[in-house]
A = this chain, B = another copy of it.
Amino acid sequence: MEEGKGEVKHMLLAKFKEEVSEQQIEDCIKQYANLVNLIPSMKSFRWGRDVSQENLHQGITHVFESTFESTQGVAEYLSHPDHEAYGNILRPLLEKAITVDYHPTPVQL
């Protein structure tokens, strides 16, 4: 089955530590969003709290969705100094982090 190429969704599923305040989370999300202004290959950013109704979220509290034009763009992002600096801010606030990337592919039935 043919899979999409090109556009990549870079998804971070995160659980913030209990002691992290809502204000800290808000600041953190704004800094994440600002990476779009700093890293040319990062095309857009959206976020949301987990609102799932099944009990399969495994403690995840927040989803961060970044969009890139290619896997090369993700590589440029990962090695960019502004991403690395932000990682050093974000990581200590998280109890859990899962990152997956995928080419969003529709299915022709």
Known: A29-B1, A30-B109. Is A54-B78 also a contact (CB below 8 A)?
A: yes
Which residues from chain B contact A93 at a C-beta distance below 8 Å? none
Q: A37-B109, A107-B45, A109-B33 are in contact. Are A102 and B50 (CB under 8 A)?
A: yes
Counted per complex, copies of this chain come to 2
Q: Which residue of B lies closest to A52 (CB)?
A: B101
* Consensus secondary structure, chain A interface: mixed
Instruction: Give the A interface residue count (CB, 8 A).
Output: 49
A10 to B53 CA separation, bound complex (whole angstroms)? 10
Does A90 count as interface, using CB distance less than 8 angstroms? no
Q: Give 1 or 0 for each of A38-78: 1 = CB within 8 Å of chain B CB.
A: 00000011111111111011101011010000010011001
Q: Bound state CA distance, A26 and B103, in angstroms? A: 16
Closest 10 pairs between A and B when the two form their complex, measured CB to CB: A48-B102, A33-B107, A56-B99, A52-B101, A46-B104, A63-B102, A48-B103, A1-B26, A50-B100, A51-B101
Please list 16 pairs of residues, one from A and one from B, whose beta carbons are closer than 8 Å in the complex, sorted by A's number: A3-B48, A8-B51, A9-B63, A9-B65, A13-B98, A29-B107, A30-B109, A33-B109, A46-B107, A47-B104, A50-B100, A52-B101, A54-B78, A58-B98, A65-B102, A65-B104
